[in-house]
Structure 1
Amino acid sequence: MSPRWEPNPDICLGNHVVRNLHARLVFVTKYQREVFSDEILTRCQATMWDVRESFGAELRDFNGEGDHLHLLPCEDQRMETTDHVKSLTDAGHLLATAAEQAGPGASVPTCPGWQVRNLLRHTGMVHRWATAFVAEGHTSYHPDAGEPDLDSGELLDWFREGHGLLVNALESASADLECWTFLPAPSPLAFWARRQAHETTIHRVDAESARGGPVSPVAAGQALDGIDELLRGFHARPKSRVRTDAPRTLRVRTTDTGDAWAVRLSSEPPQAVRESEADAHRAGSGDCELSGTAEGIYLTLWNRLPLTAVTVTGDRGLARLWCENSGVTWS
């Protein structure tokens, strides 16, 4: 008689089986035939991107050649929607406080040409624009309502009201909300909570830079999520101006969390892949590497800190290319 099987208490069962799962999958063609052209690899990557969204997974790596391709799916470690809403709430309050202390006419060093009044009008307009999608369920693009002709105390009151409306809309929205979005996300609700949390956090840094004095810290988890959104969301779009004539690789590595991204640059939109845990600890790979704390990398990639805030190894021209062409503008 075979011995009775007993469950191992050290192995998680049920839904927890997939937690932190990394599974490298390799597909090889029969007889090593060259069938994976660049076009087919691009189509496969797009298909796998859609599949991983359906399962709430993350595609850490995808590449291949004529007779094979391999990919590394794993658990998606993005922040929860409730965490993003809390970050949005806190960042909005800090932004308003810093703006009030700085005064509407103060220059914003991190946004050349802007004063605090421009910052409040822009961020408040974006908040109301986002609120309309969440609260009214628009399933196609709707333009913003423009910036108000307000100033001083009236402008601050208007900003605080709009921020509160956005937070309330996200907190009360149904998990199955359907509305327009413009970046991949597990759901429209997750998209808008994430996008507005980072929008407001970056502009909170702007307000605090205008006020002067210490800048409130960004938690490592939020910074990592923001790096991922910027690299694999914004700059995966055709709008990205970060291009090179010849293929190059810009590597981004966070020294305090052990995470890394390989950003493949060419004449096409950048392709960023998040590296496996084992690969992320390697230093110095790629044509250029930016390394530093998650917060430092996050703010540097968003051009809120200079390149001197992080460590640059390899071709510094590639790092400067990022700074000069990576700006995300309102359009």
Structure 2
Amino acid sequence: MRGQALIDHGRLLDAMGYEVDLLIEAARAVPHDVPVPMSPGWTVGEVVRHVGSVYRVALAWLVEGRRPTEWQRDPAPGQTVESYLRQGFVDLDEVLRWHGPGERAATWWPADPTYGFWCRRMAHESTIHRVDVEDAAGFDLGQIADDIALDGIDEALAVWFGHRLGMLGLSGTRESSVGVCTGGYSWIARAGPTDTVAWRCSDAEASRADAVVSESPVTVYLWLWGRQRLGAVHVDGDDDAVGQLWALMRLATR
């Protein structure tokens, strides 16, 4: 068992290590007070600190077996944010590699109470914020493999659209459905006044949605996370349905 991820546990762990290297490289290239346009209101240093803190939150969930209330939220005196990030990654990676993805663990998503949830969540947390810092530093976008992007699309729709919005008490203003099709996979994201839900489906089922979004896996992945403009994807059908999906994803992932 590998949890809910579309790809192998080890592949996600390796990807997370790759992302940490790229994130640190980009962060060291500019002053830490440089603004991050893709995460408005944040600076490069704040993004790096945030990711290091999130690694520690994930580790605390795994060690304590429940939602943590205390963890090291900032670098130690004299410690750089890059060192703080790196140490957080090393400690979390060690624990994740000692456990199979299907082993039970405390998480905040009831559909996946496994170590695999945290491996997947932290891999995509790292990727998205690496993109943020590369953009702020003026770097060309580093590579995101299609299999990572496809798994990230699945996570964004299932966890953030399908679950996180409900946790926040948020839903759509009108009933609509959007098919998302890329890289040989398809999903439906349905929103309305009472709930939001998403699931994997066939191409034929996706084509019957009010609108269908398509583009390369990496573009769709970054689009769902608000790192591509609204018009970056190809839309067939109801533009308002796609706009609602976009707006709800912005609320879910802020």
Q: TM-score range by the shorter chain?
A: 0.7 to 0.9
Other-structure match for 2:82: 156
TM-aligned CA deviation for residue 115 of structure 1: 0.4
Matched, 1:172 2:98: yes
Percent identity of paired positions between Structure 1 and Structure 2? 29
Deviation at 1:276, TM superposition (A): 2.0
Taking the TM superposition and a 5 Å limit, the aligned residue runs for 1:24-173 are 78-134=6-62, 136=63, 138-145=64-71, 147-148=73-74, 154-173=80-99
Pairing 1:1-331 to 2, within 5 Å after superposition: 78-134=6-62, 136=63, 138-145=64-71, 147-148=73-74, 154-173=80-99, 177-184=103-110, 188-237=114-163, 238-239=166-167, 243-254=171-182, 257-276=183-202, 279=205, 282=207, 285-327=208-250, 328-329=252-253
- Give me the whole-angstrom Cα distance separating, in 2, the residues matched to 1:309 and 1:269: 26
Unaligned runs of 5+ in 1: 1-54, 58-75
TM-score by length of 1: 0.68
Is 2:2–2:101's contact at 8 Å kept on the other side of the alignment? no
Which protein shows a greater Rg?
A: 1
Distance change (3 Å), C-alpha of 1:246 and 1:189 = same
User: Counterpart amino acid of 1:232?
Assistant: A
Q: Aligned partners of 2:169 and 2:61: how far apart in 1?
A: 27
Equivalents in 1 of 2:78, 2:211: separation in Å? 45
Task: Look up the equivalent residue of 2:132 and give its one-letter code.
Answer: D
Cα deviation, 1:135-166, whole Å, max 9, x if unaligned, reads x2x22211352631679972221111111211
**Number of residue pairs aligned between Structure 1 and Structure 2:** 251
Amino acid at match of 1:113: G
TM-score, scaled to structure 2? 0.87
CA 1:317–1:250 in 2, change beyond 3 Å: closer, same or farther?
same
Cα distance in 1 for residues equivalent to 2:189 and 2:55? 30
Shift of 1:305: 0.8
Partner residue, 1:6: none
Distance 1:125 1:112 in 2: 19
Quote the Cα distance in structure 2 between the aligned partners of 1:215 and 1:140.
36
| Distance in 1 of aligned mates of 2:170 and 2:60 | 31
Q: CA RMSD in A?
A: 2.7
Structure-2 change in CA distance of 1:186 and 1:141 (3 Å): closer
CA distance in 2, matches of 1:227, 1:291: 12
Structure 2: which 5+ runs fail to align?
A: none
Greater relative contact order (Cα < 8 A, sep 6+) = 2
Check whether the contact 1:111–1:206 (CA below 8 A) recurs between aligned residues. Answer: yes
Counterparts in 2 of 1:297 and 1:232: CA distance versus 1, 3 Å: same
1:304 aligned partner, one-letter code: R
Deviation at 1:250, TM superposition (A): 1.4
CA contact (8 A) 1:242 1:322 kept: no
